[in-house]
Every structure is written in structure tokens, then in C-alpha cells.
Amino acid sequence: MDEFDVLTQLRQDTPAMSARARAQGRLRLLGEIEGRRRESRWLPARRTMLAAAGVVILTVAILGYQVVGSPDGGSTAEASTVLQAAAAVAGVPAAVPRAEQFTYVEVVHVTSGGRQRVQEWRSVDGSRPGLIRSSGFLGSTSGAIAPYDPAAGLRTAPYAVLAKLPTDPAALARVLGEDPYVQDSVRYNNVSRDVGIWSLVRELVETAPPAQKAALFQAASTIKGITYVPTATDAAGRTGEAVGLDDPRLGNVQFLFDRDTHAFLGERILNHGSTTSIQFNDAIQQTGVADTAGSVPRR
Amino acid sequence: MTAAAHGWMDEPVTAVSDGAVIEASLTHAERFAEVYDRHAEAIHRYLARRAGTTVADDLSSETFLVAFRLRRRYDVTRADARPWLYGIATNLLRRHRRTESAGYRALARTGVDPLAGLDHAEEVVLRVTAEVEGRAVAAALARLTAKERDVLLLFTWTGLSYEQIAEGLDIPVGTVRSRLNRARERLRRVLDETVTKSGER
């Protein structure tokens, strides 16, 4: 036997990095990145929150992870209908914000650690620094939002960039499929393009203009494997219905909608194979347009 | 902004190299998280294999903190960041050299791998290396110099080439080759002795 062969076999059964260690390492790195930035700039709040929750968004595939079947067994047709209803409501035209204004989003995130309220102001045309304020169990912070970086994809895109996206669902799905975030998910996480798109849709719906928001829900409604969840409660305690998709990295990622108004309420992530074990939950409290970063629009 | 300006429609999708991501992280620091997402698993495995899961949990995280701080020094024309990251991880491991060597010695002596016992006590899975060669290799590893061991384990456990090891450890390729040859000879000798001994039994 070759001496290198014997060595190659030694400790070959070393256990893989645990999800916990990976999430903690990532969180430590994000902390370093935040701290080192000359002007404090923030990642999109959702990513930071998911990292804090120990939810791994974008990591190398974990060997042995199996995509489990739908925990509810809900039908795809019903799921598709829920998303189309949401699209119909989302597509109602609203006042177009001016270039110098800011889109405002307030979201409450709940993880096993506690609650965090996050407010974000993003420059409509991307020309001004945005602002993020965050308070809760992770402490209170505020700082500038990282500016839009086309190379990083659409996740940090301002309203004006999202307004240029196709409003035809199929064309939009193609653009989303080519986004670097989705590409990286497919490439490094071994997830399907659809799973990547599902995550990206969540990142964009809060800021997207009505026509694009409608197209996002429509594009999502054609994704294979989505399931209907009859009852789901968001982080603010509002109960509605939901549509879920299994993401091998995270669990069953569900979008929650009001049963009557079909408004998008928020998101929750259930552990694989469970209908009760929630690892992440959020609720959109308010969206709107503000004249300055830091001023909360009137409801 | 047009679709072309975004590069959505007209450009074929090409893999973004580690170098390009690290370059982007110079102006958009958060991009550096992608380097972690790509390589944390592999770095952790290498560290765990040498010094156990507990040490690996800590050092894998630290490897990327160090890398982030040093990213300005990275040659962004290098598409693959693994040699650089393994190099950093290897340097950090020096602090745990005694733990590592003690592990090999214990394995050589008893056939039970202390790394398995220490880190997964709850599983009570003792990693018993029944094979005589495995114990002999552990004995040989314990006797190598730290520098020889670094080169040998990077070569056999991470799949880096001579050139990549040279790059990661910042030493000439000739040095990699000579250290690897020395380590190989020692391994050979220990294995030969073992085979002879077990043949006599």
C-alpha cells in the first residue's frame, strides 16, 4: 500500500461542520465586517437577522441533507391561487415616489433569541445613503445601508432599479434566475434555481413597485413544489394562510398572507419536516414613502 | 438603467472567481461573507481532521476573520482562494500543535482516536483504528517536524498542488517538494517496520 493512501484514510470520517458552528462563524464574520467598515453600513436587515437567528442563508451544501416532503401535504394548486390573489392585490397602482424620496419598511423579526424591530429607509434612485435602525434583543443600532452594488445582484437594489424589471412573470423569472444570489445558491448550495428564486422574491417584495411586486408573486406561483398552508401566524400575531417551499438550507420557507385582503404579512421558516417548530418569523409592520431618511411616513 | 448595463440579458452566466469576490469586498465589505459561504466547510474539515472539532469550530471562524482583515493583500488575479485560506488556517493551528501531536501519539499507542472521544463524548463512538498501518501512520505523524507535517497534510488531506501549497504557506515550491519527500520517506520507513513486525508475529 502506498504510504499516502494510508494517510488519506486516516480520520476520513471526521464529522462535517455543524450547522451551529457554521452559523456562529458566519455571524462572527458579519460582526467583524460591520465593525470594520469605515462608515458603518448594513446588510439588508433580513440577512443580518437570519444570521443572528443561526439560520444559514448561503452556505455550502450539507452532505446528507434531504429535502423532505411538504409537512402539510397542501396542494400546489391552492398555493398557486393564494399567490395569484396576492399578485392581483399587489398590482393595484400606487403613487410613484419621487427620486429624492426614500422607501420605508418596518419589520419585526422573531427568533428563538427574542424580538428585533428593524426600520429601513432606502433612497428611491439609489443616489443617497439609506438608513437602518434596529432595536431589540440584539441591542439598538443605527447606520447607513450599504449602497446598491449591481455585482451583488438585486437584493440591495433601490426602487428605481426594481421599477425597470420586467412585469411579465416569465421574463421576470428569467432575470431572477440569473441574479448572482440565485446563481451562487445553485452553485455553492446545491439548491434548485426555483429555491433560490423563492428566497430572492422575499428580499424584493417589500421595496418593489406594484407592477413588479405583482409579477414577483405571479412568478412565485409557478414554482414547482410550493404547498398551501391553511393557517399560519406571523411575528405580530396576525393569522392568515401561507405558501411554503422546502429550502434544503433552511427548512420550509413560508410566505404569509391575509386571508381576506390577500396582503403580504411576512415570512416564517419551519424546521425541516415540522409543522410547529419555527426557527424564524417576521411581520411587515409598515411600508411607505418618506421624504427623509429617518422620518416615519404617516399611515 | 438598462438590462444591458446590469448584464442580465446579454452576458453568459460565468462563475465569479474568489478573486473577483475579494476584490469587490474591498469596496463592499459584506461581499466577503461569500468567501465564507464557499469555503468554510472545507477549512473546518481540514482543521477538525488535524486538531478536532472543538478547535476547528474556533479556528475556522478565526481563519475568515484573519482573511477579511488581510484581504487587501490578496492577489485578486488568483481565482481560487483556498490555498490562501488553508495557509491562514495552518498558521493558526500552530497554537494547537501540542494538542495535535498528542492526538497522533495517543492514536498510535492505543488505537483509539482521542479526537473522536473528546468531541463526541455523548455519542460514545470511539474511533478505533484497527488497522496496524493507521496506528503506524499516526506514530510517524507525531515524529515529523511541524513544517513537514503542514506540507504533508495539506497535500494529502486538502488536495492542494505543490504550487498551491507553496502559495498558501508562502514558501518556494522546491521547499514544498523537499519537505514532502522527507515526510514521505519517514512514513515509508515506519510503515515498512510495522509490516515487518506484524509479519514476524
pLDDT tens by residue, A99-114: 999 999 999 988 777 7
Q: How many CB atoms lie within 10 A of CB A20?
A: 11
Report how far Cα A208 is from the mean position of its chain's Cα atoms: 14
Q: Does B137 touch chain A (CB under 8 A)?
A: yes
Q: Is residue B196 part of a domain?
A: yes
Spatial contact of A29 and B35, defined as CB atoms under 8 Å apart: no
DSSP H/E element including A78: helix A76-90
Q: What residues does A287 pair with on adjacent strands?
A: A105
Task: List the single best residue of A6, A57, A65, A132 to mutate versus B (max B Cβ within 10 A).
Answer: A6
Q: Is residue B48 part of a domain?
A: yes
Q: Per-residue pLDDT for A257 more than 90?
A: yes
Q: Is residue B3 part of a domain?
A: no
Q: Per-residue pLDDT for A60 more than 70?
A: no
In the prediction, which pLDDT does A129 show? Answer: 87
Report how far Cα B133 is from the mean position of its chain's Cα atoms: 22
Once rounded to an integer, what is the mean pLDDT over residues A38-59? Answer: 51
Q: Is residue B6 part of a domain?
A: no
Q: Is residue B4 part of a domain?
A: no
Give exposure, A265-288, as e/b (b: 16+ Cβ within 10 Å).
bbbbbbbbeeeeebbbbbbbbebe
Contacts 24+ apart (CB under 8 A), B7-11: B7/A150, B8/A175, B8/A178
Half-sphere exposure of B39 (CA within 13 A, CB side): 26
Q: What residues does B23 pair with on adjacent strands?
A: none
Cα–Cα distance between A11 and B186 in angstroms, integer?
20
> Contacts of residue A9 in chain B, CB cutoff 8 Å?
134
Instruction: Dump pLDDT digits (tens) for A191-216.
Output: 899 999 999 999 899 999 999 999 99
User: Which residue matches cell numbers 481532521?
Assistant: B49
Cα–Cα distance between A68 and A272 in angstroms, integer?
7
Instruction: Dump pLDDT digits (tens) for B97-138.
Output: 888 988 898 888 877 777 765 444 434 344 444 467 788 889
In the prediction, which pLDDT does A50 show? Answer: 66
Cα–Cα distance between A187 and A127 in angstroms, integer?
32
> Contacts of residue A149 in chain B, CB cutoff 8 Å?
24, 27-28, 31
Report which of residues A37 and A94 the model is more confident about.
A94
pLDDT band at A183 (very low <50, low <70, confident <90, very high): confident
Q: Per-residue pLDDT for A53 more than 80?
A: no
Mean pLDDT computed over every residue of chain B: 82
Secondary structure class of A65 (helix, strand, coil): coil
Instruction: Dump pLDDT digits (tens) for A11-34.
Output: 888 888 888 788 878 878 887 787
Q: Per-residue pLDDT for A123 more than 60?
A: yes
In the prediction, which pLDDT does A151 show? Answer: 77
In the prediction, which pLDDT does B191 show? Answer: 80
Q: Per-residue pLDDT for B143 more than 50?
A: yes
> Contacts of residue B19 in chain A, CB cutoff 8 Å?
none
Q: Per-residue pLDDT for A52 more than 80?
A: no
Once rounded to an integer, what is the mean pLDDT over residues B45-58? Answer: 93
Q: Does B186 touch chain A (CB under 8 A)?
A: no
State the ipTM, two decimals.
0.83
Those residues whose C-beta lies under 8 Å from the C-beta of residue B164, and which sit 6 or more positions away, are B80, B82, B83
In the prediction, which pLDDT does A190 show? Answer: 74
In the prediction, which pLDDT does A256 show? Answer: 97
pLDDT band at B162 (very low <50, low <70, confident <90, very high): very high
For chain A, the straight-line distance linking the first and the last C-alpha, in angstroms and rounded, comes to: 75
pLDDT above 90 as % of chain A = 43
Cα–Cα distance between B28 and B22 in angstroms, integer?
9
Domain with residue B162: its CATH number is 1.10.10.10
In the prediction, which pLDDT does A3 show? Answer: 76
pLDDT band at A54 (very low <50, low <70, confident <90, very high): low
Q: Is residue B8 part of a domain?
A: no
Instruction: Dump pLDDT digits (tens) for A224-254.
Output: 999 999 999 998 999 999 999 998 878 899 9
Which set of grid coordinates corresponds to residue A71?
A: 409537512
Distance from CA of A179 to the nearest CA of B (A): 8
User: Which residue matches cell numbers 404579512?
Assistant: A265
Spatial contact of B35 and B18, defined as CB atoms under 8 Å apart: yes
Instruction: Dump pLDDT digits (tens) for A130-156.
Output: 898 888 877 777 888 777 878 778 988
pLDDT band at A39 (very low <50, low <70, confident <90, very high): very low
Which of A10, A37, A180 faces B137 most closely, judged by CB atoms? A10
> Contacts of residue A59 in chain B, CB cutoff 8 Å?
37, 40-41
Q: Which chain A residue is nearest to residue B60, measuring alpha carbons? A: A25
Q: Which chain B residue is nearest to residue A160, measuring alpha carbons? A: B1
Q: Is residue B41 part of a domain?
A: yes
Cα–Cα distance between A199 and A221 in angstroms, integer?
13
In the prediction, which pLDDT does A67 show? Answer: 32
> Contacts of residue A29 in chain B, CB cutoff 8 Å?
32-33, 36, 61, 64-65, 68
The domain containing residue B32 runs over which residues? 14-200
| SS (HEC) of chain B | CCHHHHCCCCCCCCCCCHHHHHHHHHHCHHHHHHHHHHHHHHHHHHHHHHHCHHHHHHHHHHHHHHHHHCHHHCCCCCCCCHHHHHHHHHHHHHHHHHHHHHHHHHHHHHCEEHHHHHHCHHHCCCEECCCHHHHHHHHHHHHCCHHHHHHHHHHHHHCCCHHHHHHHHCCCHHHHHHHHHHHHHHHHHHHHHHHHHHHHC
In the prediction, which pLDDT does B73 show? Answer: 87
> How many domains in chain B?
1
Once rounded to an integer, what is the mean pLDDT over residues A52-64? Answer: 42
Distance from CA of B6 to the nearest CA of A (A): 7
Which set of grid coordinates corresponds to residue B7?
A: 448584464
The single-letter DSSP state of residue A258 is -
pLDDT band at A55 (very low <50, low <70, confident <90, very high): low
In the prediction, which pLDDT does B166 show? Answer: 96
In the prediction, which pLDDT does A47 show? Answer: 58
In the prediction, which pLDDT does A45 show? Answer: 57
In the prediction, which pLDDT does B161 show? Answer: 96
Q: Is residue B65 part of a domain?
A: yes
> Contacts of residue A178 in chain B, CB cutoff 8 Å?
8, 13
pLDDT band at A177 (very low <50, low <70, confident <90, very high): very high
Spatial contact of A141 and A191, defined as CB atoms under 8 Å apart: no
pLDDT band at B11 (very low <50, low <70, confident <90, very high): very low
User: Which residue matches cell numbers 419536516?
Assistant: A273
